[in-house]
Amino acid sequence: MLEYASYYVAVVVQLLTAYGFYLGGDWVFMGIASFPVFAVVDAVLPNDMAARKMNSHFWANVPVWICTLLAPALYLAAAWRVGQGTLDGLQIAGSIFSLAWLSVVPLVPSAHELYHQRGVLQRFVGRYAQVCYLDCTREIAHVIGHHIDVATGKDSDTARRGVSLYAFTLPAVIESSLAAWKVESDALEKRGKGRWSIGHRLYKAILAQVIFQTVVYLIGGIDAVLVALAAMMIARCWAECFNYFQHYGLVRVEGAPIAKRHVWNHMGWLTRRMGWEITNHADHHLDSYLPYYKLTPDMTAIRMPNVFICFLAALIPPVWTGMIVKPALKRWDLEFATAEERKLARAQNLAVGWPDWFDDATVAAGQAQPA
């Protein structure tokens, strides 16, 4: 039961944040304050490399549902507080960042967990809970794009070597959105409908946003709507930042099989629980229907720092590349990549002015480790 209970950490944070909005004043910083606390705690705790021993899908799924449903509820709690007119400018900013942070963690991974399930209701809720970060069409590009094109040049979620977090984020937002809408238009066209006919998922996403913002307005007025939209836009960018750390610099030949080596894993104790194992996702790319508690840690993989540390390091690009990802990629290139992948990796390294840690014999003789 302790394993099941440990996944309620995110629920507790959401409830405390809601209580902070109820109290008002500086308590509205409760949500964003959890970020530095978790960054320190997860850095101090040892990596968690254990497989989960959870057999009840129902009980394992309960906190996933709670977190997904509490995310939009936090916006309504914040709308009520803003509508009371008691917050100063700094506290308004605190409310925005608290909402934005909790719209990314735990919502992005909890919604991801639901829309990867087979049930219609699970997928519906996972899809439209993403209203909290302006992306109710996200899973289209994720499932049909990212899961097929991961670690190739076609995947907007895979950052190329030498690209900073700042240069990656906005293009990733735009490219993933356009890709999702194109896939949806292609699907409609194949069914004999117009590419932008009334059934397009983009229209449904817009309708969901209009309905949600109407509720926010009725609770807290126009100021609450502005707070919600600001938080959502920040959260949308932060969600793409999260992708930056998952596959940065990894390469794969288009059409080649996807293997465990094509992901980075972050195995911090809190990282795994706050993220519903989304950072322990090597198996997820081999079978996207596997629930989070059945994802087995890859004991042979290169171990990356927890995702909090990676995010903070990436804010200073030389720290991220020099101290974290460049050493990891050098080892990946020399120990895990195939011969074809080494050629791609070498080309990227040279293009961005990184050291050439290959020799021609190494490139020609590359052997991938077992997936």
Nearest to 264 by CA among 156, 165, 149, 159: 159
**pLDDT for the residue numbered 253:** 96
Any domain includes 105: yes
The answer to whether 96 touches 11, Cβ cutoff 8 Å, is no
pLDDT tens for the 371 residues of the chain, in order = 899 999 999 999 999 999 999 999 999 999 999 999 999 999 999 999 999 999 999 999 999 999 999 999 999 999 999 999 999 999 999 999 999 999 999 999 999 999 999 899 999 999 999 999 999 999 998 898 899 999 999 999 999 999 999 999 999 999 999 999 999 999 999 999 999 999 999 999 999 999 999 999 999 999 999 999 999 999 999 999 888 999 999 999 999 999 999 999 999 999 999 999 998 888 898 888 899 999 999 999 998 998 899 999 999 999 999 999 999 999 999 999 999 999 999 999 999 999 999 986 566 565 544 44
CA distance 64 to 71: 11
Any domain includes 340: no
DSSP code for 108: H
Any domain includes 327: no
Q: How many domains are contained in the chain?
A: 1
| HEC readout, 138-191 | HHHHHHHHHHHHCCCCCCCCCCCCCCCHHHHHHHHHHHHHHHHHHHHHHHHHHC
Any domain includes 197: yes
Which amino acid would we find at residue 74?
Answer: L
Residues contacting residue 194 through CB under 8 Å, at least 6 positions apart: 188
CA 189 to chain centre: 30
**pLDDT for the residue numbered 370:** 42
The answer to whether 255 touches 247, Cβ cutoff 8 Å, is no
- Determine whether 208 is exposed, middle or buried from the number of CB atoms within 10 Å of its CB (0-12, 13-18, 19+): middle
CA distance 87 to 160: 42
Map tokens 């942070």 to a residue. 101
pTM exceeding 0.75: yes
| Token pair belonging to 93 | 């900013």
CA distance 105 to 35: 10
Any domain includes 344: no
| Token pair belonging to 2 | 């302790």
The domain in which residue 172 lies consists of 2-305
Any domain includes 151: yes
- For residue 229, the number of C-alpha atoms closer than 13 Å in the C-beta half-sphere is 11
Any domain includes 148: yes
CA distance 276 to 307: 13
